[in-house]
Every structure is written in structure tokens, then in C-alpha cells.
């Protein structure tokens, strides 16, 4: 089950289509979704989580808390919509595309992918691109 929670205004998300895509992403990594919560918030909300739980005093676009058991993905994924909007401008992509990238980034973390080293970050980016292509093939109207 995938839950969506909104601590800030994000605009309309087609939750059923996003859930179908995210489930397909999980399957493509030989995993399945147990319970994942996406929490959309603003910069200050996520900054407080970053300080409290990770002792980081910087803004970020996403924080994932992984409760995965074996191949059953479970966790909470916090996303700053403000960072997503800024990133979309910086990378010259739509806000919707950047939001999907960040959402799948969090899911990939739950699948076990890391991004701390250059090599890990490169693989993460390749996986993000691969999964975003899945979205466009399987859900062309989004």
C-alpha cells in the first residue's frame, strides 16, 4: 500500500497512476511494496526532520526512512515540494518530472540503492532514468 500525505500544497497528483508506476518499479527490482508513505512538505518541515533525525542542518529535497524487511519495501519518504520546484528550474525540467524523479529516488533507496559515493550516485541516476522511462511507457497520459 502506498499512502500520500500533504503537509503543504503540491497541486493535483494522480495518485492511482503514480501507485501503479511505483508498484511496477518495485517489481522491476524484484521487490514488492508493503507500506510506503510519501509525505509532501515544505523546506522548513523537512529541515526540522533533517536536524532531528540526521543531525544535518541543511535543506534537502528528500529524506527516506527505510523499514524494509527482505524484499518487502516499507518506509516513509519525506519530500520538500519547494526543493522539487527549485530543482526543476535548475535542471530545466517540469515540476511533475522532477517530482517523479524524487519519488522514485526514495523508492530506490528502499530497494537498497545508495548515493553517497560518486559510483553509487552514478548508478542511482541511471536507475532513476530507467524508472522514469517506465513511467512514460506505462502511463503516457501523466
Q: Is 81 annotated as a binding residue?
A: no
* Cα Rg of the chain, angstroms: 14
Strand 2-6 to 32-41 pairing: parallel
Strand 62-66 to 72-80 pairing: antiparallel
Q: Is 40 exposed, middle or buried (0-12, 13-18, 19+ CB in 10 A)?
A: buried
Q: Is 139 annotated as a binding residue?
A: no
DSSP 41-73: E-HHHHHHHHHHHH---S--SEEEEE--BTTEE
CA-closest candidate to residue 103, choices 142, 141, 50: 142
Which residues carry a binding-site annotation for Zn(2+)? 105, 109, 115
Amino acid at each position: 500500500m502506498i499512502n500520500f500525505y500533504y503537509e503543504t500544497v503540491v497541486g493535483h497528483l494522480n495518485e492511482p497512476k503514480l501507485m501503479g508506476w511505483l508498484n511496477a518499479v518495485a517489481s522491476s527490482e524484484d521487490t514488492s511494496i508493503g507500506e510506503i508513505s510519501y509525505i509532501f512538505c515544505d523546506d522548513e518541515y523537512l529541515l526540522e526532520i533533517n536536524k532531528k533525525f540526521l543531525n544535518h542542518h541543511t535543506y534537502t529535497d528528500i529524506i527516506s526512512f527505510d523499514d524494509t524487511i527482505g524484499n518487502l519495501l516499507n518506509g516513509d519518504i519525506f519530500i520538500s515540494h519547494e526543493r522539487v520546484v527549485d530543482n526543476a528550474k535548475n535542471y530545466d525540467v517540469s515540476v511533475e518530472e522532477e517530482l517523479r524523479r524524487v519519488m522514485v529516488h526514495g523508492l530506490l533507496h528502499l530497494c537498497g540503492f545508495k548515493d553517497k559515493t560518486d559510483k553509487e550516485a552514478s548508478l542511482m541516476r541511471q536507475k532513476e532514468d530507467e524508472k522514469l522511462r517506465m513511467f512514460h511507457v506505462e502511463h503516457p497520459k501523466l
